[in-house]
Amino acid sequence: MAVIDVHGLVKRYSGRAVVDHVSMQVAEGEIAGFLGPNGSGKTTTIRMMCGLLTPDEGDGTVLGFDVRRDSRRIRREVGYMTQRFSFYEDLSIEENLNFVARLYELHPVRDHVRDTLEDLGLTQRRHQLAGQLSGGWKQRLALAACVMHDPKLLMLDEPTAGVDPKARREFWDEIHERAAGGMTVLVSTHYMDEAERCHRINYISHGTVLASGTVDEVVEEAGLTTYILQGAGLAQILPKLQGAPGVDQVAPFGNTLHVVGRDAEQLRRTIERLATNGVEAHPGVTSLEDVFIQLMDGPAEDGR
């Protein structure tokens, strides 16, 4: 069963399509990644799917509810975490959760708050003011508020921005545990390691979905070839590679260069011609980051 099943969603502002005929399907229990550069339309798409914005065109269902007619039902059934911390910083963790429980008309409030505090490991900090929390604990509070009403779908808009790596890993462990229990998750992120922890990913740019599938499928469909260069002459070869035939990307990684291109044969010839004077080249594995950069550059070249 598709928890999210939307087709041709469009949202315009001042005559410009911020979201341009986006279609997406997310299955029950799936963690779906939503990738794209800033301003690509991710947040607007999420807000249409969670009932906060009405599409100008398109239709579909979320949790079986119509995105146009049943937006209020969707808002009550979805857990939505915004990009920015949006709780009262002069209230404690417990007081913020009391407020959220009342918004969702959960009864008894005391029991729901107590259980949520225990579930997210917040009991010992329940009296701490939200404004005094570190990024990781603010994130945990936000997640607690999202799951308190036991939603079947979580929509998380860049939930780990500004959070340290340990807190990010703990957060993703929590998400995977809940998905294993049947919860469906749609999460937007800029972190490639997080995208690789998703069951499937969707890449959006200029309001249009350009790629969908598992990480392996998206990397394979990109059709990129990667070479790894190493040796003493990398500083001299780097400017020669930039803009050379068949070369779409050149990036230093430690003591190596990653060279990426769409035309495998032309790239090979360029590498053979330039990789001299102590520089060794061998085939590498194309990463999701390579694909991300390629997709970011692609729409601009197409004029979209």
CATH number for 125: 3.40.50.300
Where residue 248 sits, what CATH number does that domain have? 3.30.70.920
> DSSP secondary structure string, 159-213?
TTTT--HHHHHHHHHHHHHHHHTT-EEEEE-S-HHHHTTSSEEEEEETTEEEEEE
Instruction: Note whether 144 and 275 are same-domain residues.
Output: no
* Co-location of 186 and 241 in the same domain: no
Q: Are residues 120 and 169 in the same domain?
A: yes
Mean pLDDT of the region 184-198: 93
Q: Is a pLDDT exceeding 80 seen at residue 197? A: yes
* pLDDT score recorded for residue 264: 96
For residues 114-128, give the mean pLDDT: 95
Sheet holding 279-284, edge to edge: 249-253, 256-261, 225-231, 279-284
- Asked if residue 140 and residue 255 are part of one domain, the reply reads no
Residue 263 lies in a domain: yes
Place 278 in a pLDDT band, splitting at 50, 70 and 90. confident
In degrees rounded to 5, what are phi and psi of residue 26?
Answer: -130, 125
Q: What is the pLDDT of residue 301?
A: 39
Which pLDDT value is given to residue 304? 37
Give the pLDDT score at 299. 45
Query: Is 9 domain-assigned?
Result: yes
Radius of gyration of the chain (CA): 22
Q: 206-222 pLDDT, tens per residue?
A: 899 999 999 999 999 99
User: Average pLDDT, whole number, for the chain?
Assistant: 92
In this structure, are 234 and 138 located in the same domain?
no
Mean pLDDT of 266-279: 90
Clarify whether residues 162 and 259 are in a common domain: no
pLDDT tens digits for range 49-97: 999 999 999 999 999 999 999 999 999 999 999 888 889 999 999 999 9
Specify the pLDDT at position 83. Answer: 83
Flag whether 32 is in a domain. Answer: yes
Using alpha carbons, select from 205, 213, 207, 229 the residue that is nearest to residue 292. 205
Same domain, 173 and 233: no
Q: Which amino acid does the sequence have at 215?
A: V
**For range 25-38, the mean pLDDT:** 94
Of 253, 263, 255, 243, the C-alpha closest to 279 is: 255
Query: What's the pLDDT score for residue 162?
Result: 79
Mean pLDDT, range 111-124, rounded to an integer: 95
Q: How many domains does the chain have?
A: 2
In a domain, 149, yes or no: yes
Closest CA to 38 of 298, 296, 241, 234: 296
The per-residue pLDDT for 298 is: 65
Cα dihedral 256→261→264→267 (10° resolution): -60
- Which of 219, 251, 274 is at the close of a domain? 219
- Residue 274: phi, psi to the nearest 5? -100, -25
| Domain match, 232 and 205 both | no
Domain limit, last residue, from 219, 252, 272? 219
Other CB atoms within 10 Å distance of the CB of residue 74: 22
Statement to judge: residues 135 and 271 lie in one domain: no
Query: Predicted confidence band at 238 (pLDDT cuts at 50, 70, 90)?
Result: very high
> Is there a single domain that holds both residue 82 and residue 166?
yes
State which residues form the domain around 19: 2-219
Last residue of a domain, one of 197, 219, 241: 219
Assigned domain for 293 exists: no
Element (H, E) at 75: helix 71-77
Predicted pLDDT at 277: 75
Residue 211 resides in a domain: yes
- Judge whether 290 lies within some domain: no
Q: Is the domain of 189 the same as that of 239?
A: no
In a domain, 296, yes or no: no
Are residue 126 and residue 254 in the same domain, yes or no? no
> Rounded to an integer, what distance in angstroms lies between the CA atom of residue 210 and that of residue 167?
31
Amino acid letter, residue 65: F
